[in-house]
Homo-oligomer: A and B are copies of this chain.
Amino acid sequence: MTPKNIAIAGATGAVGAEFMSVLEKRNFPIKNIKFLASARSVGKKITFKGEEFPVEEMTKDSFKGIDVALFSAGASRSREFAPYVVDAGCVMVDNSSAFRMDPDVPLVVPEINPEDVKWNKGIIANPNCSTIIMLMAVYPIYRLSRVKRIIVSTYQAASGAGAKAMEELKNQASDFLAGQSVKKEIFPHQIAFNLFSHNTKIDDEGYNEEEVKMIKESNKILHDAELKITATCIRVPILRAHSESISLETERKLGLDEIRQAISAFSGCKVIDDRAGNYFPMPLDASGQDDCLVGRIRYDNALDNGIALFVCGDQLLKGAALNAVQVAELL
C-alpha cells in the first residue's frame, strides 16, 4: 500500500485517541497526518509516533490533498463536512450514524463485507459498535448456515457515550462510595452501580435508536433484509467493552464443535469457552484487545435450531477505531 495522507476528525475524543494508537500499532503507511477538531480544541497537542502535532480547526479546506479522513466527531459534523471531503477527492471513513443507512454509502465490517468498499462514492460508514461486535460473533455461524432470527440483549459500556461518560462513571462511583450524591451531566440517570435502557429516542414500536441501528445495520451489512432481529440495549457500569447475550436460530441444525471451529478460525474473534474452569468472555479481558471474545456457546433449547452465545468486544477498538482503520486499509 502506498503511504497515504490522513486526517483524523474528532482527534480529541475517546475514539480519536484510539485512531492514533491503532494506526501506530498496525503500522499504517502514512505520508502525512493532520489532527482536526473543533475551534475550542485548537492549542492542544497530539503525540503520534513520538512526534508532537498541533490540533487544527476543522474547516471546509481541511481535506485538500488528503487521501483518507477518519471521522469520529458526531453525526452533525460528519453531515456538515462530508461534501468538502468528497469534493476534495478524499475518502471519508465515518464512525458516526450520519450515513450508515444511506443506500449510496457502503456500511462495512472488513471481515464480513469487504467487497462493499468498492462501490463507495467518497463515503464509507463504520457500523454502530454494538452491531459490529454482534456480527463478529454471528457471521462465522451465518456462513455455516443462514441465520433466520437473532434475539440480543446488550451490556454496553460508558465509552459508547464518549470520554466524558467514562469520567462520569468513575466520578459517580467515587461520590457514591463516599456517601455523597452523584452528579449527572452526560447520562440522564446514575450509571455507577446502576444500569438503564439506552437513552436514545424511542420509536413508535418501542425500540430505541441503538436497537434500531443494530437491526437495520445488520440487515444492510449481511445483505439480508429477511433476517429478523430483536435487540434490547442496556447501558451498564463498565468502562470500555460491550458485552452481548445472543440467541439465534439457524436454517440448518449445526454442531457446537463446528461453530466453535468456525468462530476460532474467523479473523478478529477468539473463543473463550472454558466450561470446566468457568471462564468466559468478560469486558475486562476484552478491553484494549483487537479480538472479540466469544463464549458460552451452547444450544438454545427455546428456539428450533437455536444457538446461544456471549460476546465481549472493545467498544473503542473493534467497535469503532480499529474497524475504521481496517476499512481504510481496504482502500
Contacts and interface: CB of A to CB of B under 8 A. Distances in A.
With most chain B CB atoms within 10 A of its CB, the pick from A170, A237, A245 is: A245
B275 A195 contact: no
A23 interface: no
A170 B177 CA distance: 7
Contacts of A280: 196-197
Interface residues of A, number: 58
A301 interface: yes
Contacts of A247: 151, 230, 232, 247
Interface string A176-193: 010000000000111001
With most chain B CB atoms within 10 A of its CB, the pick from A173, A193, A247 is: A193
A194 B283 CA distance: 6
Identify whether the interface residues of A are mostly helix, strand, loop, or mixed.
mixed
- Report copies per complex: 2
Nearest to A300: B230
A267 to B, nearest CB: 25
A298 B190 contact: no
A295 B230 CA distance: 16
A310 B79 CA distance: 35
Interface in A275-306: 275-276, 278, 280, 282-284, 295-303, 306
6 contacts: A149-B303, A150-B302, A199-B278, A200-B278, A230-B306, A232-B245
A4 interface: no
A233 to B, nearest CB: 9
